[in-house]
Amino acid sequence: MKVSFGTFLRSQFAKQPPVLKADLSGKTVIVLGANTGLGFEASKHFGSMNPGRLILACRSQSKGEAALEKLKTATGYTKAELWLIDLSDFESVKRFADKFERDGGRLDILVENAALSTPKFQPTKDGWESSLYVNDLATPLLAFLLLPAMIKTAERYSVIPRIVVVASETHYWVTLDKKVLQSPNILKTMGSAEYCTKDTMANRYPLTKMINIFFVRAFNDRLPVSTPLVVDAVNPGLCKTELMRDVKGFMAMVFGALMNVLAFTAEEGSRQLVYGAIAHPDKPDGLRGQYLSACRIFEVSDFILSPEGVKAQDRIWNELVEILGDFDSRVPAIVDQYLTRSKV
């Protein structure tokens, strides 16, 4: 599928469907990036559905505490919890997952709302380009480490948990270039200082979102049909959030003008996150591995569906498991136990 700029414009002016509602009594929901923007608005929606537990996963203690107070005022929900996590640090992700494992509770919904966008190369302490690390390495790491808890939840409570990964329609406008595809390791090449020139960083955000979709599709391809779990990708559309906070100067003015004319509110965009988490409760299997936008299933980009894209997807999956396994040996063990190394 191709999406032209005209199609994008029309989608931004379209009226958004109302947010779905469900009874989440007794269920546990985790929302990443929950102190602001899409994550906070999604948390407000979930809070209004009376979940047994609602965990706001945030990087900042002070901003997280402020979000808890705002959520309480807006919804009357008083049981929300603040857990700290820094997706620019694998160790922080591991501590979060370990804490949840010690907690021993159920996990019904994991909303992976990771969206770092940087206009130039900014390395993590491990030397990776930051947005690739946050969006495409740390986000899957948390999904893998929490997968056993979700499978146990499914078995113990006879439910179908969901992993919702926030993607973007911008993935339609990019492909992986030949230098990346011909390199021995796609992710390591894309994450290197040598590759991340000013020109290549111009398309970095949509590429990280495309890799999010690769992850969701590859995960689903390897998930046995008998496993009661849904993983899907959602597109919130262009929204008024803090995503472009690092963009400065003239480009900041351009993005600001676009936001004022075209952008949805963060609340409108958050409805897609909620849709991915609770839509079609009677037939959730129809959402497995799907890309969702405007509360509907859409075909992904032509590049993702092409033979070249399918090959890249499988390579990225294998590289991802290896990279994350070098950090935490539980990752390949979890993949071996609950998923398969190749497509089902």
**Which residues are part of the catalytic machinery?**
205, 209
- The tokens for 181 are 């595809």
**Residues 42, 118, 135, 100: what is their CA dihedral angle, to the nearest 10 degrees?**
-60
Determine the 3-state secondary structure of 223 from DSSP.
Answer: coil
A 10 A CB-CB count for 183 gives 17
Given the DSSP bridges, would you call strands 28-32 and 53-58 parallel, antiparallel or unpaired? parallel
Asked if residues 287 and 279 have their Cβ atoms less than 8 Å apart, the reply is: yes
- Tokens 């969006």 -> residue: 135
User: CB burial class (10 A; 0-12, 13-18, 19+) of residue 92?
Assistant: middle
DSSP label at residue 155:
H
Q: In the structure encoding, which two tokens stand for residue 31, read together?
A: 């929302």
In order of 33, 132, 183, 187, 276, the CA distances from 204 in angstroms are 20, 8, 17, 12, 25
What's the order of all strands across the beta sheet hosting 296-298?
81-84, 53-58, 28-32, 109-112, 162-166, 230-235, 291-293, 296-298
Number of C-beta neighbours around residue 303 at 10 A:
18
C-alpha torsion sign, points 160, 165, 168, 173:
negative
Instruction: Name 205's Cβ contacts closer than 8 Å, sequence gap at least 6.
Output: 115, 117, 131, 168, 170
